[in-house]
Chain A
């Protein structure tokens, strides 16, 4: 087990990349502590799978280095890195039994029989597959197959990192939460470093202590689930995490104040020195319908059971608000208030206000 360090990592699938646009991964520097649970979160094509393949050794980066502890593993093959990987589709050896599947990676490494037997029964018990050990793996349901492919990674006690590449894709929606929580539990029990790649916010936030949000080959924020939700560093994070996502509203700046559709908006704190086109970012949960405030027209109200999602228009700008108990009728004129300590300015997408102490 070891700390994982990515140093000045860049990758391009083109032989002669010229501009930044040619890079699938643009300059990544980060350190993951030993034994942590991490998630790489982003939409399709954001570079998260490229990054995963570089860490596992299936892909050599164009530039930069990968360290496991003190060792530079950049040029090492996957089997020399002591990693385990769980793929999108369950990879199992069809002709083997469940037990043979779990034994396989240990046998290949020359582990003695006694240790193999002990590890396999431990892991089988953890994954709740003990009673299937002697059945043929080919006949299992997708969720059990996926458990077996996880098991093949977990039986080894020499793994530096276990990687999950969207492992719940083929799992029935009603079984997903069970596997999600199983994974979390496994992490707490085996204490190995785990990296989970997904486009699903629930999977990422549930699993990870720290989430790396990526967009277009760039890491836009690394933070705990609370940080990502409460204080997104980039409008993309605000939009991508949370349903509905954060409102991103065009505005003007006058000194330290933001002007939205002609109205003064109180912000969480002073502006930072950052430059660029300004926008206000506020989550729908922090916009409330009040008796005074921004005049708005309600265009649609969706009753989603436990709350209402209100679509409104202020001047020429559309926004969303969430109301817990009551909602105005569609078409009515209302007033909206932004919760000041949750109202921020972003410039060119990046956060440009500081919270008041």
Chain B
């Protein structure tokens, strides 16, 4: 387990990490999700001991490692860029941390081969990194992290520079590779989809702070504030100002619907309504759905899904639906939103219903 207690980081007068408390457990992936510059890499560097902290403590398995050198922490780090020793064979690359630890030759052999098998590198063990494809190079780096049997493994956007199909395959294998190894796995990514595919726990990062931490599917479904909802949404979550009066909610454009449950019990006033893009669909599926009609601005097709950005009042909305739907840019199109999937946030951004 890695425990961060009031950890902060400053460079000069600029605060990179605001006071952060986290408990990261072994046995599942701990994903740090946030946009570029949100502080994921900074936080990983603090945990790895690569950068000094301004304040706070870090504990690994209960032991204070705050003042311990990176070399003395039992950790591995895999970067976005393929970092291997170019003059060594794949075998020696994987074996390098074991050689540093002066393990007996027979054990090195065994552990390297086990890691190579897991990552399908067996036929390439005698090659040099520059004879490998990008995917194989990154698998070599991953195999090194696995063979080392560290207390903690940090994966900093390890798949960002690979073809997406390869990314898809590795993303699926990764949780299996680290399962049952007892290491705390921390995985930084900027893609919400990746966090969902990896499962486990996710910490949402924004502007140097972890805004929400919890079971991945839980915090996806129940964001505690608007920032968390925004960070965990791609395409961006739809958010618009809504006025509540009695049991009715009204958008600025006049579109209205009936509230029930917790939302109906809120005091009248102004709120922000947020609804995920895949809950705003180009076809009606039940009579409770609210029609949103707007001009299509931008469309995207991603293979299995289609998205359309459309303008309603002065807010840009996004719809995401399965399959390939070609929209015409510029045309008016009706989209349908099911109010039961709407979430409501107060003016300070905290979730109220």
Contact = CB atoms under 8 A, between A and B. Distances in A.
A–B direct touch, CB within 8 Å, in complex?
yes
B302 A174 contact: no
Nearest to A324: B322
A201 B303 contact: yes
Given A174-B36, A303-B199, A44 B329 contact: no
Nearest to A177: B300
Contacts of B276: 305-306
Contacts of B300: 177, 180-181, 202, 206
Given A188-B329, A206-B300, A304 B163 contact: no
Main secondary structure of the interface of B (DSSP, over half): mixed
Contacts of A188: 329
A333 B235 CA distance: 35
A199 interface: yes
B326 A303 contact: no
Nearest to B176: A300
Contacts, number: 99
Contacts of B197: 302, 304, 309
Nearest to A240: B165
Contact of A229 (B164, B221, B278, B304): B304
A76 interface: no
A302 B133 CA distance: 29
A302 B199 CA distance: 7
B301 A303 contact: no
A111 interface: no
Interface centre among A45, A206, A307, A309 (most CB of B within 10 A): A206
A19 interface: no
Contacts of A228: 324
Interface centre among B36, B299, B301, B322 (most CB of A within 10 A): B301
B299 A206 contact: yes
Contact of A243 (B299, B301, B304, B309): B304
A175 to B, nearest CB: 9
B303 A205 contact: yes
Nearest to A174: B35
How large, as a class, is the contact surface on chain B?
35 or more
Nearest to A42: B163
A206 B303 contact: no
How large, as a class, is the contact surface on chain A?
35 or more
A204 to B, nearest CB: 9
Nearest to B304: A242
B163 A202 contact: no
B326 A225 contact: yes
A59 to B, nearest CB: 22
B174 interface: no
A3 to B, nearest CB: 23
Contact of B168 (A45, A174, A243): A243
Interface string A197-228: 00111100110000000000000000011101
Interface string B144-169: 00000000000000000001111010
A302 B36 CA distance: 26
A201 B164 contact: yes
Contacts of B304: 229, 242-243, 285
B217 interface: yes
Contact of B196 (A172, A185, A304): A304
B196 to A, nearest CB: 4
B298 interface: yes
Interface string B290-325: 000000011111111000010000000000101110
A184 interface: yes
Contacts of B166: 43
Interface centre among B35, B197, B221 (most CB of A within 10 A): B197
Interface in B75-99: none
Given A199-B164, A202-B300, A243-B304, A226 B324 contact: yes
A45 B302 CA distance: 22
B196 A305 contact: yes
B164 A205 contact: no
B163 A205 contact: no
A188 B221 CA distance: 38
A87 to B, nearest CB: 17
A243 to B, nearest CB: 5
Contact of A181 (B221, B278, B298, B322): B298
A245 B165 CA distance: 9
Contacts of B168: 243-245
B178 interface: no
A110 interface: no
A228 B302 CA distance: 12
Contacts of B196: 302-305
Given A225-B324, A241-B303, A305 B164 contact: no
B134 interface: yes
27 contacts: A43-B163, A43-B165, A45-B133, A174-B35, A174-B190, A177-B235, A184-B329, A185-B298, A188-B329, A199-B163, A201-B164, A202-B301, A205-B303, A205-B324, A206-B301, A224-B326, A225-B301, A225-B324, A243-B168, A243-B302, A243-B303, A243-B304, A244-B168, A285-B322, A305-B220, A305-B221, A305-B276
